[in-house]
Structure 1
Amino acid sequence: MEKKKILFVCLGNICRSPSAEGVMKAMVDQAGLSEFFTIDSAGILNVHQGEPADTRMMAHARKRGYHLTSISRPIVPADFDEFDVIIGMDDQNMRDLAQKAPHAEGLKKLVKMTDFSTMPGVDRVPDPYYGGPDGFELVLDLLEDACQGLIRHFQS
């Protein structure tokens, strides 16, 4: 398998994208595929730059055995050259990423997280920031499913 560099992106890089990063890293570690992946996350905005993941998201992830260690950062133009795949969590993230792409080649790298989901009718990973505990659990359910699909995609 050829090494792939994956960047997960959400709005602020404190809930969904650091969780996707943590889930994906755990899954590729468990599958013995770590050497084939570089995995990172970023946000559309820089409002949380330098902060760890949301404490509620970290707590829910920890219950499932995931450790969210990333520090929030905004996506930068160089990311469109550095990464092979840039994965947004919802349609708004995808529109924002398309606007931030510095060149046409960058646009070709954009995919939505739920494109790898096996769950019927799922078209986004919703932002849990303003909701309750169920929203954080839903995000993890969706990410676990989509990350498995992403790994299968790269193995095929």
Structure 2
Amino acid sequence: MSEKTKYRILFVCLGNICRSPLAEGIMQTYLEREGLNNTIKVDSAGILSYHQGELPDSRMRAHAAKRGYNLVSRSRPMRSDDFDNFDLILGMDDRNIDDLKDLAPSIEAMQKIGRMTDFCQRIPADYVPDPYFGGASGFEKVLDILEDACEGLLEYLKNMPEQ
């Protein structure tokens, strides 16, 4: 991937206050560590607008901070122009992916949709569970899964053929 290449990734979950902002924060940290943060841009959104404008869930921020991630993005809903503005749109679970496919304006847009856990290398996971109604162990499990998936995504991006 050349330095001039711009690649944009959008992480999506239901409300954009737990899973997708965590994926954004982890990936941003990894991109900065690798010096790719000017080449690859990340963002997050939610299927629903219920939490629009809010910071990520305080429990998620606390668990993330223990591992060195600073979650500062504000919740926003998925927008129709996101399909034009992003190269890869990753849902956290089957429901997110189905909702994204329903929102996709074209076949081309639908082809940008993927499953976050497809990038997991160590942890066998079909989806990223929503920790919102669970306890501390649920947030830690989500951190484990998303760290693994983001590591795999980073490797995928580093090995992409030059555009």
TM-score (norm 2): 0.94
Give the whole-Å Cα distance in 2 for the aligned partners of 1:135 and 1:11: 16
Give the whole-Å Cα distance in 1 for the aligned partners of 2:106 and 2:80: 9
Aligned to 1:4: 7
Query: By how many angstroms is 1:154 displaced?
Result: 1.1
Matched, 1:129 2:132: yes
Aligned to 1:102: 105
Query: By how many angstroms is 1:120 displaced?
Result: 4.8
What secondary structure, in the 3-state scheme, does the structure 2 residue paired with 1:34 have?
coil
Give the whole-Å Cα distance in 2 for the aligned partners of 1:97 and 1:58: 25
Matched, 1:26 2:29: yes
Q: After TM superposition, which residue ranges in structure 1, 4 or more long, deviate above 6 angstroms?
A: none
What runs of 5+ residues in structure 2 fail to find an aligned partner? none
RMSD: 0.8
Give the whole-Å Cα distance in 2 for the aligned partners of 1:70 and 1:79: 16
The percentage of aligned residue pairs carrying the same residue is 56
- Equivalent runs, 1:51-66 vs 2, <5 Å: 51-66=54-69
Matched, 1:152 2:158: no
What runs of 5+ residues in structure 1 fail to find an aligned partner? none
TM-score (norm 1): 0.98
Q: Residues 25 and 120 (structure 1 numbering): CA distance in 2 closer, same or farther, change over 3 Å?
A: closer
For 2:71, the aligned partner's letter is L
Deviations 1:89-147 (A, max 9, x none): 01111001000111111101000000100135311000000000000011111111100
